Amino acid sequence: MRLVVCCFKGGVGKTTLSLNLGALFASQHRVLVNDRDPHCSSVAWAALSDQTPFTVGRSSSPGFDLEIQDLPPSAPVKDQLPDADLYIVPTLLDGASFVGYLSTIEILRKQGRPFLPVANGVNLKKAEHRRRLQEPDLVGAVVIPDRAALGSYYQLGETVFSMRGAGVDKAREDILRVGQAIQKRLTDARGTA
């Protein structure tokens, strides 16, 4: 099975989702997080990690039940995304990020590819965030509130499943909800195939 985490905008949480989903699914599958971004954020994270329950690499490799591809902000050719069972498309709700999100899902829709929107860093006190969540293009999105714990793992080489401390339980619940939404989308897709 292959999941592709993509958005034609940087800084929207692609690597955060890829690594945390890798940790989530590692209890059930042999997982490879394939770091396709030239900045190698996932690889850098793995170098800091003492114990990684999944493999991080720079290319596809046999022997894994699940491959999660962490794509760069601009895929090699926007209309030639790698094949996947599901595309996870994170976005922040600011204008620039949302434009990148819209161009990503437009390509996925044109190609008839299944995708799951993820609204990251949501702050319901902001009118712009509340307004964006009403957009038809975010229907069915998993909403992840703005949480410091989700980003703090980078410097520690950990995920929300190995961290302890304030806010981690809520961040873990957010990733669990994304995992459940992925499972549901994949199950629904198999049912209609």
CA distance 27 to 65: 12
pLDDT digits (tens, 9 = 90+) for 101-145: 999 999 999 999 999 999 999 999 999 999 999 999 999 999 999
pLDDT digits (tens, 9 = 90+) for 50-93: 888 999 999 999 999 999 999 999 754 556 789 999 999 999 99
Q: How far is CA 50 from CA 21, 60, 63, 67, 100, in A?
A: 18, 23, 23, 21, 34
Give the tokens for residue 20: 């945390």
Q: What is the sign of the dihedral through the CA atoms of 170, 174, 180 and 183? A: negative
Q: Is 137 left (phi over 0), alpha (psi -120 to 50) or beta?
A: alpha
Give the tokens for residue 183: 């499972």
Query: 110: burial class by Cβ within 10 Å (0-12, 13-18, 19+)?
Result: exposed
pTM, entire model = 0.94
pLDDT digits (tens, 9 = 90+) for 20-53: 999 999 999 999 999 999 999 999 999 998 888 9
Give the tokens for residue 93: 């709700």
Tell me which H or E stretch contains 183: helix 168-192
> What's the CATH code of the domain at 49?
3.40.50.300
CA distance 160 to 63: 26
Give the tokens for residue 164: 């302890």
Number of structural domains found in the chain:
1
Full residue range of the structural domain in which residue 10 is found: 2-192
